[in-house]
Amino acid sequence: MTPRTNARLAGFTFLFYIVIAITEMVLTSRIKSGPSTAAKLANIAQHAPQMRLAIVLGMLTILCALVLAVTLYSLTRDVDPDLALLAMTCRVTEGVTGIAPAIASLGLLSLATAAVTATGQEAATVNQLAALLLRAGGWSMTVGATAFAVGSTIFAYLFLRARSIPLWLAWLGLGGSLLMVVITPLEGIGLIKGTVMSISWAPLFVFEVTLGLWLLIKGIRVPIYLAPRKGSLQ
C-alpha cells in the first residue's frame, strides 16, 4: 500500500479502536460487576447477549492492534527500520495478549450458565474457576497495556524524528506514552489505581484521537531527508 493509504487506514483504525475499546470496557464493567464472584456470574448470566457483544468487540480490538502495528511500521520504517520493527512487535504483542481476556470472557459466560443450576461443591468449584478467569483477564490486560505503551513511545519518537506529523503532536505522544510505560506496571502490582490512573491516560488519549483525525484527514508528511531535492530526477 502507498503511504497515503497506510496513513488513512491507520487514522481510521485509531478512531475505530478507541470507540470499540471504550464500548467494550463500559459493557464489561457493568456485566462483570457484583460484590462477590457468585454475584458477578449471576449478572453475566442475566446479560448473556451483552456479554457476547463485549466478546466480539474484544476480538475486534485484537484486529485493530494488528492493523496499527503494520500501518505504523510502514509509515516509520524509513526513519529507523530496527526501532520501527521493535515498535511493531510491541503492538503485535498488545494484540496477541488481547486473546487471553477474550478466552476468559468466553469461559466466564460458560461458567455463568453452569452456575445457574450448580449446587454444593460444584457451585464452589465454578466460583473458584470464575475468580481465576477474572484475575487472568486483568493480568493479561496489564501486560498488553505495557506493550502498547512501549510501542506507542517508539512510534511517537520516530514520528518526531521524521517530522512527519506536527511537532507538538509528536511530543504529546512521546510524553504521554512514556508516562504510561511507567504507570501501567505500577497499576499491575496495585500501587496505582482509580482516579490517578484515569488522569494518567488522558494525554495519550488526546494524542491518539488527534493523530487518528490528522492521519485520516491530512495524511502524513514525507520526511525532509526522503523528499526529492529540487531539480533532481524523480
- In angstroms, the CA 5 to CA 1 distance is 6
71, exposed or middle or buried, with CB in 10 Å at 0-12, 13-18, 19+?
Answer: buried
**pLDDT tens over the chain, length 234 residues:** 888 889 999 999 999 999 999 999 899 888 888 888 888 888 888 888 998 999 999 999 999 999 999 999 999 999 999 999 999 999 999 999 988 888 888 888 888 888 777 677 777 887 788 888 888 877 888 888 999 999 999 999 999 999 999 999 999 999 999 999 998 888 877 777 777 777 888 999 999 999 999 999 988 876 554 444 444 333
Going by C-alpha positions, the residue among 155, 13, 11, 163 that lies closest to residue 76 is: 155
> What pLDDT shows up at residue 141?
84
Q: What is the pLDDT of residue 88?
A: 97
pLDDT at residue number 222 = 66
DSSP annotation of 228: P
Compute the distance between CA of residue 23 and CA of residue 222 in angstroms, rounded to an integer. 35
- Quickly list H helices, the chain: 3-31, 37-46, 48-76, 81-97, 99-115, 120-162, 167-188, 195-217
CA-to-CA distance for 81 and 132, rounded, in angstroms? 40
Cβ contacts of residue 56 below 8 Å, gap of 6+?
A: none
pTM: 0.85
pLDDT of residue 114: 80
The pLDDT value recorded for residue 185 is 84
Q: Tell me if residue 225 falls in helix, strand or coil.
A: helix
CB-based contact 13:67 (threshold 8 Å):
yes
pLDDT of residue 53: 93
Q: pLDDT at position 2, please?
A: 84
pLDDT of amino acid 101? 87
